[in-house]
Amino acid sequence: MLMRSPNLVKMVGANFLCVVLLVEIIVVMSGHSFGANGLSMNYYLTSCPFAEQIVRNTVFRALQADPTLAAGLVRMHFHDCFVEGCDGSVLIDSTNDNTAEKDSLANLSLRGYEVIDAAKEELERMCPGVVSCADIVAMAARDSVFLAGGPLYGIQKGRKDGRRSKVEDTFNLPPPTLNASQLITKFRQHGFSAEEMVALSGAHTLGVARCRSFKNRLSGVDPTLDKDFAKTLSETCSSGDDAELAFDATRNSFDNLYFNALQRKAGVLTSDQTLYADTRTRGFVNGFALNQATFFRRFQWAMVKMGTLDVKQGSRGEVRRNCHKFN
């Protein structure tokens, strides 16, 4: 999907920056430049004016080389924000006396750390000690969605990096076996409605799932699972727990085909298919499957909202020099 001509790379990069600036100008004019959480659309305007461009260029180069990283960067942002808030805690390496979030079973398959590191390295050369790792993760996820064909949304910046990263905190991440009731409850705890939860689940239009995450659906009769698709799941798992299956037919493109798959009872995870099986969420699935523009709008706002979860400010956080270590 991503273009590889050097001239096209420059052209798309320039156009993308213009769109980013336009989106942020619109948000500012709408009165949303500064948030109650201390974040700001123009947080780095004077301290590091090229921060957005540096992150965007880094993500663009990474996706040119490996388009599958888009899914990894979006998932990383979700796993960061749902544990201790959007504070870059998912990036911290474990030490002899602390097992960090990234070594949780739920996070072992996360990808894209090298993209965050590359952006941070360049930012430290240009603006040392200014741009937080948490903001880089948020911007990288935003850029990945857009470069994969999805909507562009403006995000506020100014998140500080957290000083805690413990494996036990990741137990709050929603596992792939949850039903709709459990998902609604889990997301409500973070302030999300059922519709916003379904919209965020649409991020599964990117990427793959491993057999260990869906083999539970093969142990008995699952009335929500299409029989032919059940064979596909079974064939995938015949290659082992690490065998991968895409969530929809366009694993590297951000679109609404994920919701079309749910309508066909071809959702990969229990937590995917339950969104169509449950009457409280089926209407949202149908709506997003019918109208991609509606899905994009709902996804934009849900992602902006997620990016403000428990942000650290002032003495509650820091700007790490190295994203993998506390200062």
Q: How far apart are the first and last CA of the chain?
A: 39
Contact 311/87 with Cβ under 8 angstroms? yes
List % helix, strand, coil for the chain (3-state, nearest 5): 55, 5, 40
Active site (catalytic) residues = 79
* Closest-CA residue to 228 (of 276, 257, 266, 271): 266
Each as own residue / partner, the long-range contacts of residues 5-12 (CB below 8 Å, 24 or more positions apart, any chain) are: 9/60, 9/64, 12/60
Show Cβ contacts of residue 53 under 8 Å, excluding neighbours closer than 6 positions.
17
Burial class (CB in 10 A: 0-12, 13-18, 19+), 288: buried
Residue entry with tokens 């994009």:
296
